[in-house]
Structures are given as structure tokens and as C-alpha cells.
Amino acid sequence: MLGFLPPAVRGALSFLVLTINTLFWCLLLFVLALCKAVLPFEAALSRLDPLINGIASAWTRCNSAWMRLAHRTDWTIEGVESLRYNDWYLVNCNHQSWVDIFVLQDALNGRIPVLKFFLKAELFYVPVIGLAWWALDFPFMKRHSRAALRKNPNLRNDDRDSARRACAKFARTPTSVMNFVEGTRFTQDKHDTQASPYVHLLKPKAGAMAMALNAMGAQFHSLVDATIAYPDGIPTFWQYLCGQSSRAVLRVRQVEIPLEFCTGDYENDRALRKSFHRWLDEVWQHKDAELGAMLAGARRV
């Protein structure tokens, strides 16, 4: 609808609408979060959580609406038909851009419960939205460096305890626990520095996924393995706001989660840990091949 405007103007208007939409729903969210703080009882929480998740879902629907008003989005979505809203899912996706989050939310909103992300602890201090993530019970992970962990191994417990506390809250109502297993956005420089064995992906980091499975794996219906491809190149967030990143392909498949990963001790059982890494590597090899095929197929269109 706004395609006649210069890209920079569309970008500025899109950012303004995104900000207004976020502030509006965050104000409602903070009211309910305050109710949770003063009424920390199971009976109250079981009623408040669906309302809070509903606000997050409404925020996503409004985002989808203004996206379509601001610029044309040519997104191909595959494999979401069998997903169920009233169930628990562990969601995994390759990570290339902030745009990934908008693609996932637009495609999965209303099909599965609201996505809850594992976030870096520093993101808690992002104005307004950091507090909103806290109200939604997003787990904030400190992600200590290897050097810090070698110096103080007990630091490993920080993230594990944070994940378990969050997942205990997720058990109250159907939830989708989202994790970008690569831990950071893909760039060719990062790929080369890692000497990644995959063509289109960085090496997966198993820790956060293993913690989520250990905390509430038996509740997960399946792993929702999502793969996003951008045939015209990976867009920046600003390009997305300006309407200069129209094409995306999202393909979803459900993967059965082996029961032993939900009941075993990932931290202390070396054999289980090796088995988990093999399983995750198989998931990643499939994703790498699929992403290559998706890019090749979309570019021929």
C-alpha cells in the first residue's frame, strides 16, 4: 500500500508504527505483570499467564498487519499445517537476521503457543521491551566465557538454574520454547573463524537446548525444526522496515525428541552428552542440506 513512498520514508514510518504498537501492548502487559507480582499464587497465575500470552500474540498480529500495509511481503510458509496451538513445543531455527523473528512470529502465531526465547542477560536492560520479556518469563542467560567457566565451574549453574526456573513457569500453560542453537547470527566471517563443517550454518551450541529438555522435555510434543532462507540475500532489520527484503522461505518439520534426552543428566552423563550431540548434528546436517536446496530452488523461480 505504501510502496509509492521512498524506502527511507517507509522505513521511518514502519519503525514508528512498530514502536507505537510495542508501547501500547507493553502497557497492558505491565499491568498484568504487576498482578502476577502481587498475586504469586497458582490459582491466579494459571489465569494470568494465558492473558499475558494473549497480549504477546496480539502484538504479533498487529505487527503482521502493519507489515502488509507498509510493504509487500512474499513469504513462502511450508509444513505448519499439523501444528497444534494447545501443546508444548521446543522450537529451533537457523539464525541470520533480526528479520528471522518476525518471519517466525508471523508464520507460527496462532498455530503454536507464543514463542519464548532464551536471551542474553544484557537484553534485560533494553528499554521497555526488556521488561516485557521479563514479564513474559523469557529466560535470561549469562553465557559465561570458557575462560570464566574454567576459573569458576560453578558459574555453569547460573544458566541452568535460570532455564529451570523459566521452564517450571512454562509448565503451567502451553508454551513454545524458542532457541537459536547457533547462539548468534550467521555471517561468513563467523563461519570461517569457526571452521564450521556445515555449508550454510554455524556450529550448533547444545547447552540451552539440553537444559530446556532436562527441565521440561517430557512435556514437549516435538522439536519444531524451522529453516529460513532468503533467496535475495540476508536482509538487515532496516532493509526489512524499508520493504527491501520481500522474499523469504520458511520450512518447518517436526522431529521426535528421544525420551532419554528428557530424563537423563546431560551435565554429568558423558555417554548421554555424546548421544545428544550426535542427534543434534544429524538435525543440523539435514537443515544444512535443506537450506541449500531451498536457496537453489527459490533462486531458479
Res 169: pLDDT: 75
For 15, half-sphere exposure in the C-beta direction (CA atoms, 13 angstrom radius) is: 12
Q: How many CB atoms lie within 10 A of CB 9?
A: 12
Cell of 58: 496480539
Reported pTM:
0.86
The full DSSP string for 223-257 is EEEEEEE-TT-PPPHHHHHTT---EEEEEEEEEPP
Coil/strand/helix, residue 77: strand
pLDDT, position 24: 94
Tell me the pLDDT of the chain (301 aa) as tens digits: 666 778 888 889 889 999 999 999 999 999 988 888 888 787 888 888 889 989 999 999 998 888 877 777 788 999 999 999 989 999 999 999 999 999 999 999 999 999 988 777 788 888 888 888 888 888 777 766 666 666 776 666 666 776 777 777 777 788 898 989 998 899 999 999 999 999 999 999 888 788 788 777 778 888 999 999 999 889 999 988 888 776 899 999 999 999 888 888 887 889 999 999 999 999 999 999 999 999 987 655 4
Question: For the chain, which domains are there?
Answer: 74-300 (3.40.1130)
Beta carbons of 176 and 224 less than 8 angstroms apart: yes
Measured CA distances, 236 to 11, 101, 158, 215, 241 (Å)? 12, 12, 32, 34, 9
| Residue 100: predicted pLDDT | 94
Q: Are 71 and 3 in contact (CB under 8 A)?
A: yes
Q: What is the pLDDT of residue 175?
A: 87
Judging by beta carbons within 10 Å of its beta carbon (0-12, 13-18, 19+), is residue 250 exposed, middle or buried?
buried
The per-residue pLDDT for 40 is: 79
Rounded-to-integer distance, Cα 141 and Cα 118, Å: 7
- Which residue's entry shows cell 499467564? 49
